[in-house]
């Protein structure tokens, strides 16, 4: 049974801009520092899907092509990652069900705040 290693990375404003350009999501909460400063967040935040990409990266590293062909993800965004946050994606084995390994996944920031939580599933073999 493959292990699932956690992934840690820092999210820079430059990376958030690159993600916005790659996906076409230029919501000002992500890319306009003047706009974002006036919001309750007090500054720009990373796209939820960019933060979540660390979970998919972790699953692809552990399960390879099986994740790309039969992966499942159910997550809730609990809090945003702010630019320059260091985030860590991790997974905990929960169960095996219908031939799938079910893992509790989460992403936390450097203050140990949960940003994303949910489950990911990948084929057991």
Partner 1 sequence: MPASARALLSDLPKGHEFSSTTFTLTNDDVARYLDAVEDSNAVYAESGLAPPLCAAARALGALLELLELPAGTLHTGQDLDVRGGVAIGATLTLSGRVAQRSERAGVVIISLDFELTPAGSSDAVLSGRTTVVVAGGTP
Which residues of this protein are in contact with partner 1, per CB under 8 A? Answer: 9, 15, 18-19, 21-25, 27-29, 35, 39, 47-50, 52-54, 56-57, 60-61, 64-65, 67-77, 80
3-state DSSP call for residue 97?
strand
Q: 65 vs 112, which CB is nearer to partner 1? A: 65
Q: 53 vs 124, which CB is nearer to partner 1? A: 53
For the chain, helix, strand, coil in percent to 5 are: 35, 35, 30
3-state DSSP call for residue 108?
strand
Say how far apart CA 105 and CA 121 lie, in whole Å.
Answer: 10
Q: How far is the CB of 109 from partner 1 (least distance, A)?
A: 17
Q: How far is the CB of 67 from partner 1 (least distance, A)?
A: 8
Q: 56 vs 108, which CB is nearer to partner 1? A: 56
Q: How far is the CB of 58 from partner 1 (least distance, A)?
A: 10
Catalogue the E-assigned strands of 1-125: 7-10, 72-77, 86-97, 100-108, 114-123
Q: How far is the CB of 86 from partner 1 (least distance, A)?
A: 13
In the Cβ-directed half-sphere of 4, how many Cα atoms lie within 13 Å?
Answer: 26
Q: 39 vs 96, which CB is nearer to partner 1? A: 39
């Amino acid at each position: 049974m493959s292990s699932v290693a956690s992934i840690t990375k820092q999210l820079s404003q430059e990376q958030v801009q690159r993600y916005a350009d790659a996906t076409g999501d230029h919501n000002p909460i992500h890319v306009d520092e003047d706009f974002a400063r006036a919001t309750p967040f007090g500054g720009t935040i990373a796209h939820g899907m960019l933060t979540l990409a660390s979970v998919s990266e972790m699953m692809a590293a552990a399960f390879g092509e099986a994740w790309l062909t039969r992966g499942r993800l159910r997550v809730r965004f609990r809090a945003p990652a702010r630019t320059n946050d260091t985030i860590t994606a991790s997974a905990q084995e929960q169960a095996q069900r219908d031939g799938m390994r079910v893992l509790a996944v989460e992403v936390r920031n450097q203050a140990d705040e949960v940003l994303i939580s949910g489950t990911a599933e990948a084929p057991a073999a």
